[in-house]
Amino acid sequence: MNTQRIAAIFEKDYKDFLKNSSLLVTAAIPIFMALLYSQMDFGGEMTFAVFTIVGITFSAVTAGSMITMMAEEKEKNTLRGLIQSPASFIDIIIGKCLLTSVVTIIVLGISLLLIGFEPLLETRMIIGTILAFIFFLFLGIGVGLFAKTLASTYVYTTPIMIVFGFTPILLSIDFFINNKVASTIIEYFPMIQLLEIDETSSWVPLGIIGIWLVASIIFAFVLFKKAVKDD
């Protein structure tokens, strides 16, 4: 691992991020949602709102930013330069993830300050949230490498936000309430497992999130190796 190469990738991404209005708008979505939730009456129970904000942040900001940045690298052919440079796979991944991680922490921090963060303070919850965050990072990397063009990223980002980010909301929709198969499948998704951690004393949800994480790392690695061969 070379810190100078990682810093160079981070600096480039930082400059590109400031020029990309869509990424800046995306980063504002969770904060806007948190402002709305802060004005709503949840009867003293903000758990649902907290996990919805976490899901929106991870799907829109974390995964969405990684998808956009990786797809942009491919479209501009700068990914080829990265792959052919002395930077290793680890250097590239850490460098690409660093800016997204910083932005995610800032956005999530501001959002949770607006609505509260008490449900996230328990040890198992902290571990689960970190695992879920890394899952969304690698999911974004994999999907970004899979996308053919930058314009096509919206086709992938929206379903990810709905299926993975808004999962708690999905379970309140009649279709999922009345459809046992669909609701059972959804219950194994990362955000629902975070809710399970909050509601139970079991460590099983952490294991399930860990499986999602491993799957996302394999997915990203396979797509990265494919990109190396294509280039």
pLDDT at 127: 94
- On the 0-12 / 13-18 / 19+ scale of CB atoms within 10 A, 19 is exposed
Q: How high is the mean pLDDT of the chain?
A: 84
Shortest CA distance to 130 belongs to which of 159, 108, 163?
A: 108
pLDDT score of 182:
78
Q: pLDDT by residue (tens digit) across 150-202?
A: 777 888 888 888 888 888 777 777 777 777 787 788 889 999 899 889 888 88
Answer yes or no: pTM beyond 0.85: yes
| 47-51, 133-137, 143-147: segment of lowest average pLDDT | 47-51
> What is the span of the domain harbouring residue 95?
3-230
What is the structure's pLDDT at 134? 95
Closest CA to 104 of 125, 143, 134: 134
Give the tens place of pLDDT for each residue, 2-55: 678 788 888 888 887 777 778 888 888 899 988 988 887 665 567 778 888 999
Structure tokens at 190: 């990362």
Domain count, the chain: 1
